[in-house]
Chains A and B, each alone.
Chain A
């Protein structure tokens, strides 16, 4: 503003001076004319000289003023930039000061590792990365209870969209984001993150913590490890089962499905339960579109292992049964489900299918939505395996490699994956990674509040041998993609099961 004013005054001054010069030259010219008219030539030259000199002067002056004004403008610019720079540097200093402040407690935090005591003094803030936080009630319940117990640990939730979570979290950690607690959706993502060195090893933290007991996690901590090192604690685990609609079975007068069915039994049951046509058709079973909806059967019996291509052929008989069911119209067509983006839950809620293979999270969904009696049994298999083994995915919680407060993060993980967190999860019908008698009781108590739920659910959540849906491997992401693609080719009947499985084998073997 000041600069502008000074500049204006200058311009005014220049203008006035020019006016004066103009008047002067005009006067000269008039005088000259007058002289010529009078034929007096004596002084004319002088007046001419005066005029030309005037012009020269004006030019010089103009140049002078331009330079002068530019210098002033430049000076003003320098001043302005100086102000800006100083303002910026103050800002940067302030910005530096802000992260510098928590850095000090971080150092203190490491001091604590040695002292292993008195965490109550330090106030730390941990960053927790997860999905679906804002629309999932139990996270808030659990985290609030954690805050009440550990008032010195604040938490900041960083939420990402659920569908893109695996991709987003990989990209975020590749950018060295300092998340302390990282929830993961699946094991292929975890494998990729371990391979990238983005997750912290938890062995020391586990070993130094006398309160932590691995035996509550049915051997899953070991299964989540790579090369004998642990990286995560299971927050949730899932067992895949057959959910069935008891009302439909009763109406048809067919006996309920039982543990240890063969695939043929499953096929026969689906055939018996299929009825009606058009919009009123009730399908004997429902098969969702994920590749795991086919591979889970063979994975449970451990006939199939994604990391060993010589086991892939064990999928063929399962695919044959499922395709036969699809062809006979006992299950809905894969292509129709895929094009229609049809969610399995609606099919079950509307009683359009009698059986569904799904994970234990469906217990929670049925408790909240079902208005029919339902039951569960273990998956059918080619080997007739009963309820001795469980198969499913795991939701691990890990510590990011760039965490500033690993100690506090561990306290957090131990809480949400421990008895207290597990109780909150179990009370909503979600199967926690942590297992204990108290958790079993919660599941067995579900029918007390919900007339449709079956008795004795603990039988299916408390199983000694737990097979992870997808073993840990650096290549897990690639293998998962390949199996998914070939699954869609087989289920749309564009490849026979034999061709599809052969493609799987060739493609997985060709992986770099």
Chain B
């Protein structure tokens, strides 16, 4: 009798467990199927494609081993330029956006008249359509008739930069647009982080006679390191994979001055129909982003204070 009871209970527990597992699966399954079909399979397929030559034609997929990678590193000048441009774009955009967003967030965190208004104004570029913003930005920076150069000239600058129409200034122009567009979002993220800093710490610092800078360095900054790492990670990934801004504003020009890796991938795949090669470049981009993300995670463990 007792044995029977025990096995019944066990059976019941097992059934319950199965049921719970099933419920859990049923919750994540819709998303998982989507992820599997639209993300995982294409990633694996593109890993395979990167070793092949495929023009999306009827000739099928031809396995070429590491030929795509050899061509990329040995012969493809555009790849090298695109890689250099991507690094330039990321290295300048990420820290600038980060510090500007932090600065604005600290400003917005202070009791300020019309704070909500300013916050909306700063957040506005983020929600505005990129195409509209880019067209306006390009009109402002028009080298001949733009108001920016008009202002510079009236201030006595003889030869103002030719912005998007110059190989030297095209990238800074786009970086400016990226920062202006993205800073609002990261400012809000930082605001949330700043509001999480316990006020006792500031009080304690004040009692110890710390000035504003010391308070920032010893209280604010250490307390918001998790936010900083989040922002840093999002920014690095976003800048590495961005191509829409270049596509709308300069189409990678003048020459190849604003051609970034993602743009090169798009061109190779959908203009030149070299899907194998495009996948190979995409793999390189993937490896770079993964490596950076792992590195950042490692750093986060080391430097995050709580």
Given A341-B135, A485-B256, A510-B77, verify A196-B270 contact (CB < 8 Å).
no
| Any A CB within 8 A of the CB of B12 | yes
Given A335-B143, A340-B138, verify A477-B272 contact (CB < 8 Å).
yes
A494: chain B residues within 8 A (beta carbon): 166-168, 254-255, 257
Chain A 497-512 interface 0/1 with B at a Cβ cutoff of 8 Å (1 = within)? 0001001001100101
| Any A CB within 8 A of the CB of B252 | yes
Contact of B57 among A174, A334, A335 (CB under 8 A): A174
| Any A CB within 8 A of the CB of B141 | yes
| Any B CB within 8 A of the CB of A489 | yes
| Any B CB within 8 A of the CB of A135 | no
The answer to whether A63 and B257 have CB atoms under 8 Å apart is no
Chain A 475-487 interface 0/1 with B at a Cβ cutoff of 8 Å (1 = within)? 0011001000110
B144: chain A residues within 8 A (beta carbon): 332-333, 335-336
Given A63-B12, A171-B270, verify A340-B253 contact (CB < 8 Å).
no
| Any B CB within 8 A of the CB of A320 | no
The answer to whether B254 and A339 have CB atoms under 8 Å apart is no
In the assembled complex, 12 residue pairs joining A and B whose CB atoms fall closer than 8 Å, in A order, are: A195-B273, A196-B56, A335-B166, A338-B250, A340-B142, A481-B271, A489-B257, A492-B253, A494-B168, A500-B255, A506-B77, A510-B75
The answer to whether A170 and B162 have CB atoms under 8 Å apart is no
Complex alpha-carbon distance, A491 and B12, angstroms: 79
By secondary structure, the B interface counts as loop
Complex alpha-carbon distance, A238 and B76, angstroms: 35
| Any B CB within 8 A of the CB of A198 | yes
CB distance from A400 to the nearest CB of B (A): 12
Q: Which of B258-286 contact A (CB under 8 A)?
A: 259, 267, 270-274, 277
Contacts from A to B (Cβ < 8 Å): 59, 63, 66, 167, 170-171, 174, 192, 195-198, 332-336, 338-341, 401, 477-478, 481, 485-486, 488-489, 491-492, 494-495, 500, 503, 506-507, 510, 512
A196: chain B residues within 8 A (beta carbon): 55-59, 273
The answer to whether A339 and B77 have CB atoms under 8 Å apart is no
The answer to whether A198 and B57 have CB atoms under 8 Å apart is yes
Complex alpha-carbon distance, A66 and B139, angstroms: 72
The answer to whether B138 and A170 have CB atoms under 8 Å apart is no
A174: chain B residues within 8 A (beta carbon): 56-57, 273
Contacts from B to A (Cβ < 8 Å): 5, 8, 12, 55-59, 71, 75-78, 135, 138-139, 141-146, 162-168, 250-257, 259, 267, 270-274, 277
B71: chain A residues within 8 A (beta carbon): 512
Given A174-B56, A494-B254, verify A489-B272 contact (CB < 8 Å).
no
Contact of A197 among B5, B57, B257 (CB under 8 A): B57
A332: chain B residues within 8 A (beta carbon): 144
Complex alpha-carbon distance, A338 and B257, angstroms: 15
Chain A residue at minimal CB-CB distance from B1: A56
Given A481-B267, A489-B255, A494-B255, verify A339-B165 contact (CB < 8 Å).
yes
The answer to whether B143 and A339 have CB atoms under 8 Å apart is yes
CB distance from B99 to the nearest CB of A (A): 28
Residue in B78, B145, B252, B273 with the greatest tally of chain A CB atoms within 10 Å? B273
B257: chain A residues within 8 A (beta carbon): 489, 494
The answer to whether B166 and A492 have CB atoms under 8 Å apart is yes
CB distance from A119 to the nearest CB of B (A): 28
Complex alpha-carbon distance, A198 and B142, angstroms: 42
Given A174-B57, A481-B271, A488-B255, verify A338-B145 contact (CB < 8 Å).
no
Residue in B145, B251, B271 with the greatest tally of chain A CB atoms within 10 Å? B271
Contact of B146 among A59, A170, A198, A339 (CB under 8 A): A339
